[in-house]
Structure 1
Amino acid sequence: MPDHLQPTLFQDAGKTQASDTFQELLASIAARPKYLPDWPESHRALPNEILRSALFNCRNRNLPRMFLKEVEIAVIGDGQVIYRGEELRQDDELVWMHLMHLIKKSPLGECVEFTPYSFIKALGWPIKGQNYDRLRNCLSRMQATALRIQSKRLHSFVSISLIQKFLSRNERNESLTRWQVWVGKEMQLLFDEEFLTRVMWETRRSLPDGIASKLFGYWASHRKPYPVKVETLLKLCGSGMQTKHFKIELKRALDLLKQSGFLEAWELKDELVVVVRRH
């Protein structure tokens, strides 16, 4: 597979940082451990900046995916996310969560290997040919990405590709028994221990890809969720729905999150969504 869209760190032209600050950022990468933080086998983890953004959206799977060119992604709270690449959805997030779970066991920048069968089984997808293609397509989409993230804790913009490269076929275009994926060392910056959310894997993969799975990740990143406007959640989900249709699906998603045991209770009042997490 060709190496393209290699991860880089840079200072945005419109928001130039002092050179010493940028050098400190580079030095911090070199000083960090080569491994991602650890989490239990029963959990998966993602950076708060990702879970609180519309990067992995909830658009209908039957709609064609758009190609986004330097598009600002909606974020709740601190930070800015600029994205270039094919539109990412909740199935991509599920794949990335499990991939990073495997990656954390190896030094960043080195190859991680797995059988596509074991990966698909871990996701809870049916073991059939189309899901092998689905997994390959998810990995391909995430390789061909350029993601720029800025937040107070990062100081400068961090620009990465979600996957540096992957190999799933040989030179004869035959599927390999074991697939290989590489993730750049810069991923350490996003997976900082203090800005990481660990979620119950069984709950996440039991939820249908959509609003429920999206809001599960968002509220998991808050110990005590605060009331949020319906309009704000609509932007976070990136579903493209009209507000009245979104509210119908939102209520269904909230019921699912309660049934799953994640939420203790929820209430919709005066266009505000109020939830209580079960701890």
Structure 2
Amino acid sequence: MARTSSAAAIERLRQQVDAVRLAGEAYDDEVVRTCALAAADTMQAIADKRASNEPVLALAANATDVELREARLRQSVRRGEAVYLPAWRETHTGMPNLLLRSALFAASHNPDEAVVEETIASQGDTSITLTGFRLTGYDKRVFAVCLNHYRQDHPLSAVRGDFKWIRISYWQFAKELGVEPGPNVYKAVRSSLIRLNAAHLRLRVKRRDIPLPRLIEVAFDDGHDAAAPANSLVKGGDVIAFRVLDSMANLFGPQEWTAVSEVALHDFTGLQAWLASFYSTHARPYPLQVSDLWRYSGVVCDLREFRRRLKSALEKLQGEDVPPAIRVEGYEMKGTTITVMLERWTNS
């Protein structure tokens, strides 16, 4: 991922800070020296403020592992030429809010339908355009398994870099997906990876274009072509190679990503799964238009039917067997709006 113009501007500003501070310390006149050092401090504060607003925090090439770990608690980080996603705790997967608050991973069952420059409904001051195949909640689960391999110390891949691809067998991928390995699962995983590999997005967030060539890049070492028929034999020992490019780091800025529990990602399907992920990205209750949720979720039905499905999904998420972190405590529909209350919001 090439440095953005704003990152380059921050670096130039920091170089100017060093120059002003060095010049100030050389003055014999105490008043001039004090003013120059104060100016350097002000410029340093401006540079730090700008850097904190960047999605990818740039650390010095010789930053320590401790510095890197601490910085990754908040956002994605660059150290030298290596770019890392944030670090999240086990039993969770870090995912961009932008994608979870949209119909990209729709709560519907229409994969393999090709689209070109299709606008994807999304919440807030955002724009998503998809060229490729429509994606579903199952693709979100597969994508989460891929992202989780970058949770610790594995850097993202540079477009022209030589970072190794992550290699994993279909059997191990199924285990990480939380399902029993088997031929049908391997075929489903393969099909999902092909859809994710083909997904080309154009993103705009808060009046800023975000370059993202594709969600993942995938190669198969099982001897089958990507366009092989569905009944092709895929064995558990066959190997998948995938990598996530460092442009993905632009979606993991401060307060722009969420560590979603594996339960929310893998233990539900359809609208329930979408709602569990969507509300995981929010910290408090507030009213939303039901028609907006309808658009964001990607459910294919009329609005009246969606209201019925929405109530049913929320009531199931109120069950005692639902973990408190994502359990719905209650909801209120007033006219065209709905307010959902999660149990973790009332207990925090």
Answer whether TM exceeds 0.5 for this pair.
yes
* Contact map agreement 1:136 1:168 (CA 8 A) in 2: no
**In terms of Rg, which structure is larger?**
2
How many residues in Structure 1 have an aligned counterpart in Structure 2? 259
Tell me whether 1:257 sits opposite 2:320 in the alignment. Answer: no
Deviation (angstroms), 1:193? 4.2
Q: How does 1:188-199 map to 2 (within 5 A)?
A: 188-199=249-260
Cα distance in 2 between the residues matched to 1:156 and 1:174: 39
Tell me whether 1:135 sits opposite 2:189 in the alignment. Answer: yes
| SS of residue matched to 1:103 | coil
Structure 2: gaps of 5 or more residues: 13-53, 59-77, 158-162, 226-232
Q: How does 1:5-84 map to 2 (within 5 A)?
A: 20=5, 31=58, 32-33=78-79, 34-59=83-108, 61=109, 63=110, 65-84=112-131
Deviation (angstroms), 1:274? 1.1
| Identical positions, percent | 26
Change (3 A) 1:171 1:133: closer
Question: Which residue number corresponds to residue 239 of structure 2?
Answer: 178
Give 2:263's aligned amino acid.
E
| SS of residue matched to 2:209 | coil
Deviation (angstroms), 1:94? 0.9
CA-to-aligned-CA distance 1:140-179 (integer Å, 9 cap, x gap): 1111121111112x72342320012332423799755332
Question: Which residue number corresponds to residue 213 of structure 2?
Answer: 160
* Contact map agreement 1:22 1:156 (CA 8 A) in 2: no
Cα distance in 1 between the residues matched to 2:84 and 2:5: 26
**CA RMSD, 1 decimal:** 2.7
Cα distance in 2 between the residues matched to 1:127 and 1:174: 12
Q: Which moved more, 1:49-58 or 1:101-110?
A: 101-110
Cα distance in 1 between the residues matched to 2:91 and 2:288: 29
Cα distance in 2 between the residues matched to 1:91 and 1:248: 23
Aligned residue among 146, 151, 154 for 1:104: 151
| SS of residue matched to 1:54 | coil
| SS of residue matched to 1:244 | helix
Change (3 A) 1:214 1:187: same
| SS of residue matched to 1:160 | coil
Change (3 A) 1:171 1:86: closer
Deviation (angstroms), 1:21? 5.1
Question: Which residue number corresponds to residue 231 of structure 1?
Answer: 291
Cα distance in 2 between the residues matched to 1:187 and 1:265: 35
Deviation (angstroms), 1:125? 2.6
Cα distance in 1 between the residues matched to 2:307 and 2:5: 48
Aligned residue among 326, 335, 347 for 1:270: 335
Cα distance in 2 between the residues matched to 1:23 and 1:165: 31
Cα distance in 2 between the residues matched to 1:41 and 1:30: 23
TM-score norm. by structure 1 comes to 0.83
CA-to-aligned-CA distance 1:167-207 (integer Å, 9 cap, x gap): 24237997553321111111111122431111111243111
CA-to-aligned-CA distance 1:47-82 (integer Å, 9 cap, x gap): 1111111111012x2x46421101111011121111
| SS of residue matched to 1:159 | coil
| SS of residue matched to 2:333 | strand
Q: Which moved more, 1:110-119 or 1:126-135?
A: 110-119
Tell me whether 1:118 sits opposite 2:166 in the alignment. Answer: no
Structure 1: gaps of 5 or more residues: 1-7, 10-18
* Contact map agreement 1:142 1:162 (CA 8 A) in 2: yes
Cα distance in 2 between the residues matched to 1:186 and 1:81: 16
Cα distance in 2 between the residues matched to 1:269 and 1:194: 30
